[in-house]
Chain A
Amino acid sequence: GAVVSQHPSWVICKSGTSVKIECRSLDFQATTMFWYRQFPKQSLMLMATSNEGSKATYEQGVEKDKFLINHASLTLSTLTVTSAHPEDSSFYICSATVSLNTEAFFGQGTRLTVV
């Protein structure tokens, strides 16, 4: 299957700082990327959908000014957690797909810990 690379795999940051997570499709062009968040012992929950060249669509309850998503190219989407707080500590995972009705491939996830 296609490869989606997510970086970093884990990050620890101080409260109030910002953290950027990258999601890259290595061998295909991803028109759409999805960002999910997983709290301990809970489901992966969709945060936002990003299409290349347009603004991301956020799910209800997700603060778009706090979780900035950029999808500037067909192979890269970034999620920036701004002014991070301990409650933002979670596992963030992206997936990417070529087009409608094709399989979405997942990155390996990023474990964020805010101290």
Chain B
Amino acid sequence: AQSVTQLGSHVSVSEGALVLLRCNYSSSVPPYLFWYVQYPNQGLQLLLKYTTGATLVKGINGFEAEFKKSETSFHLTKPSAHMSDAAEYFCAVSKNSGNTPLVFGKGTRLSVIA
């Protein structure tokens, strides 16, 4: 079975500050890991994903995440927060990179303070 834990249901940062959203996973098979962002009244948009290879993954909008197998983590970071980053962020795990459905974390709401 697979599961995802996102630490912190709400994270608040100042504009220009570092963004760190935490995600830990559990998987009995090599995991495929994803971060999605959801803006109000919109669908989920893929930020980045880890499949195989390089453990540091760069995504859209300046976000990146690092797969750490020893820590079973896949934390999302961004060096400098923008107001437009305020949204709900979901970490998810899958058994493959597409078809097998995703197991989601509960989500973390990011607020950016001016």
The interface of chain A, by Cβ under 8 A from chain B, is 1, 4, 6, 9, 32, 34, 36, 41-46, 49, 93, 95, 97-104, 106-109
Contacts and interface: CB of A to CB of B under 8 A. Distances in A.
Interface of B: 4, 9, 36, 41-46, 49, 90, 96-99, 101-107
B98 A97 contact: yes
Given A41-B106, A42-B106, A44-B90, A104 B43 contact: no
B106 A49 contact: no
B43 A102 contact: no
The 9 A-B pairs of least Cβ separation, nearest first, read: A108-B43, A106-B44, A102-B98, A100-B99, A106-B43, A44-B104, A43-B104, A46-B101, A101-B98
Tell me what chain B mostly uses at the interface: helix, strand, loop, or mixed. Answer: loop
Given A42-B106, A44-B90, A100 B98 contact: yes
Given A43-B104, A108-B42, A102 B90 contact: no
A93 B41 CA distance: 11
B96 A101 contact: yes
A43 B103 CA distance: 9
B46 to A, nearest CB: 7
B104 A101 contact: no
17 contacts: A6-B43, A9-B41, A32-B99, A34-B102, A42-B106, A43-B4, A43-B107, A95-B44, A95-B102, A97-B99, A101-B96, A103-B98, A104-B98, A104-B99, A104-B101, A106-B45, A108-B43
A1 B98 CA distance: 14
Counting chain B CB atoms within 10 Å of each CB, the highest count among A32, A43, A102 belongs to A43
B96 A93 contact: no
Nearest to A59: B101
